[in-house]
């Protein structure tokens, strides 16, 4: 006998034995990049929550900068692993968010109605993409698939909320003009989307760090 005895069908990799592998990494070339993107999205969520307090800039411009910042960060994160399925999804989601941000910045729109419509489409598309890929990959990516599916469910649910509530919201705006409460609801929905995505990325980053540490320990044995 030249090595440690293993059970038939049992894990031979120390990472697998620890329950860490053989999941593939999510998207970034380093866990630090994933963590940075997650923290940025959480900060954007806080800014979206404070939208009713932001009066120095038009609403469309404020939302546009949030989307642009989040989209660029997500696109850069996906570029770190653009050859993987989830990397491509992250690239696509980032590109979609960048396009929405640029549209808001260049549109010159005023008021909630056009913003709500485009945001609804953005949320529904992101939700469908995340759900589709999350369900297809299953547990191949460890716990990352859970956060991907959660983000998909959240975004799609928020998009449906806007879709169902849009007629009533439009009527309320026509009758009573745009209110601070309406802006607050819109900001809260946007904040929830960014917060779930950000917390998910932070969790993925720490999971990736643990996996890398376990790989190094296994290689040293």
What spatial distance separates the first Cα and last Cα of the chain, rounded to whole Å?
Answer: 18
**C-alpha span between 161 and 219 (Å, rounded):** 49
Q: What share of the chain is helix, strand, coil (3-state, %, to 5)?
A: 80, 0, 20
Whole-structure pTM value: 0.77
Do residues 123 and 98 make contact, with C-beta atoms less than 8 angstroms apart? no
> Quick one: pLDDT band at residue 56, thresholds 50, 70, 90?
low
Better-scored residue on pLDDT, 26 or 32: 32
Task: Supply the pLDDT for residue 16.
Answer: 42
What local confidence, expressed as pLDDT, does residue 19 receive?
A: 40
CA 133/CA 147 separation, integer angstroms: 12
Please name the helix (run of DSSP H) or strand (run of DSSP E) that holds residue 3, with its range, or none.
Answer: none
pLDDT tens digits for range 121-165: 999 999 998 888 777 766 566 667 788 889 999 999 999 988 887
């Amino acid at each position: 006998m030249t090595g440690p005895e293993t059970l038939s069908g049992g894990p031979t990799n120390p990472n697998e034995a620890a329950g860490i592998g053989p999941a593939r990494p999510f998207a970034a070339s380093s866990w630090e990049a994933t963590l940075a993107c997650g923290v940025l999205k959480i900060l954007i969520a806080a800014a979206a929550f404070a939208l009713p307090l932001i009066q120095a800039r038009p609403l469309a411009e404020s939302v546009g900068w949030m989307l642009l910042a989040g989209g660029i960060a997500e696109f850069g994160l996906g570029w770190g692993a653009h050859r993987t399925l989830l990397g491509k999804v992250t690239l696509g989601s980032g590109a979609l968010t960048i396009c929405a941000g640029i549209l808001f910045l260049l549109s010159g729109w005023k008021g909630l109605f056009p913003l709500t419509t485009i945001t609804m489409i953005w949320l529904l598309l992101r939700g469908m993409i995340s759900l589709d890929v999350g369900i297809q990959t299953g547990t191949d990516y460890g716990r990352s698939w859970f956060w991907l599916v959660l983000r998909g469910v959240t975004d799609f649910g928020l998009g449906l909320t806007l879709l169902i509530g849009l007629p009533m919201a439009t009527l309320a705006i026509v009758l009573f003009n745009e209110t601070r409460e309406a802006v607050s609801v819109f900001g809260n929905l946007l904040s929830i989307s960014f917060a779930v995505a950000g917390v998910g990325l932070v969790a993925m980053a720490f999971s990736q760090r643990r996996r890398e540490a376990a790989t190094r320990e296994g290689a040293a044995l």
